[in-house]
Structure 1
Amino acid sequence: MSYGNQGDGGYGSQPPGGGYGQQPPSGGGYGQQPPSGGGGYGQQPPSGGGGYGGGYGQQPPSGGGYGQQPPSGGGYGQQPPSGGGYGGGYGQQPPAGGNPPDNHLVAAILTTLFCCLPLGIVSIVKSSQVNSKWQVGDFQGAALASEEAKTWWKRSLIAGIIWWVLVILFYVVVFVLLAASVPSSSY
């Protein structure tokens, strides 16, 4: 079955000089070396030596050629060097352990309920950022959010302890003052 006439360029016809994917016979093109002079990357020169293409498969001494990475670094697929921490940047591999840092969510919730509401809310927000940053590959940001969550729940705990100590002292002072002002009765 034919989708067109092979000779006049309809659908399915072959281009002149060969099928698709072949190189033109005149030389040049991608993946093909010029037919004359100097050797080339994979050709043997007619004289048997000279140039930098003096044998099969030899590469030029200065590097280059198709498919090679530049010698000075860079290039596609390479990660930029990072400076400490978990490396920072999206798309990098997780640290050796592979587990996200502790998000301190339980401590954040408990200190919010029993100690200091405003500071505890900040701790909950920071602890919720740990896992989301870890999932997108921001390992340094996840570690930083974990440390901030820990700092805020500790602040909430300290503020709660100070608050409850002050409340207890207030009631003790009020009770002592009321007890002193009431006359004692004797029967």
Structure 2
Amino acid sequence: MSYGNQGDGGYGSQPPGGGYGQQPPSGGGYGQQPPSGGGGYGQQPPSGGGYGGGYGQQPPSGGGYGQQPPSGGGYGYGQQPPAGGNPPDNHLVAAILTTLFCCLPLGIVSIVKSSQVNSKWQVGDFQGAALASEEAKTWWKRSLIAGIIWWVLVILFYVVVFVLLAASVPSSSY
């Protein structure tokens, strides 16, 4: 049984008398095979030797479905990585440290942005990965600045409290 040549019925032919979805009389249309005997669905290409085509055969380069290209690509959407080939720095270590020691809310934003860098790079969104890297750097720096300001204020508070307590204690003379 051959699915390629469907002259007298089959999947691509029209019912007698036309009807819904009738094909134009020019011989072309959806579901019909081209009039040239060169091929159709399910037929092998008419090459004589070598590769020969067909389902289940590998191309001569040795590649196939599920294999990575020899250049180590796999970047998605048919895009090639920028010249460097490596994803931008995700600033995850700085984001975690500033979250723990400086400012929790701003540090969390930095961690979220830094976690987006590698995932965007893997799907081929190189500009998005670079933007997420810059945003992660911006947010961990903001967290660092907020933490520095916070600790300076805490130290000033303790100094002022210490000075006020020292001034309120009566001095005794011996």
TM-score over 0.5 for the pair: yes
Query: How high is the TM-score relative to the length of structure 2?
Result: 0.58
C-alpha distance in 2 between matches for 1:4 and 1:46: 13
- Cα deviation, residue 92, structure 1: 1.1
Sequence identity percentage: 100
2:59 to 62, 70, 90: 70
The answer for unaligned runs of 5 or more in structure 2 is none
1:162 match: secondary structure: helix
Q: Is this contact kept in 1: 2:113–2:133, CA < 8 A?
A: yes
Secondary structure of 1:137 counterpart: coil
CA distance in 2 between counterparts of 1:95 and 1:21 reads 48
Partner-residue secondary structure (3-state), 2:56: coil
- Whether contact under 8 Å (2:28, 2:34) holds in the other structure is yes
- Once residues 37 and 10 of structure 1 are traced to their aligned partners in structure 2, the CA distance between those partners, rounded to angstroms, is 17
Query: Stretches of 4+ moved more than 6 A in 1?
Result: 1-47, 53-56, 63-86
The structure with the largest alpha-carbon Rg is: 1
CA distance in structure 1 between the aligned counterparts of 2:105 and 2:46, rounded to whole angstroms: 84
TM-score by length of 1: 0.54
Stretch of structure 1 that moved more, 160-169 or 26-35: 26-35
Q: Which runs of 5+ in 1 are unaligned?
A: 48-52, 57-62
The structure whose RCO (Cα within 8 Å, separation 6+) is larger is: 2
Aligned length: 174
| Residues 1:39 and 1:55: Cα distance change in structure 2 (over 3 Å) | farther
Q: Say if 2:106 and 2:142, in contact at 8 Å, map to a contact too.
A: yes
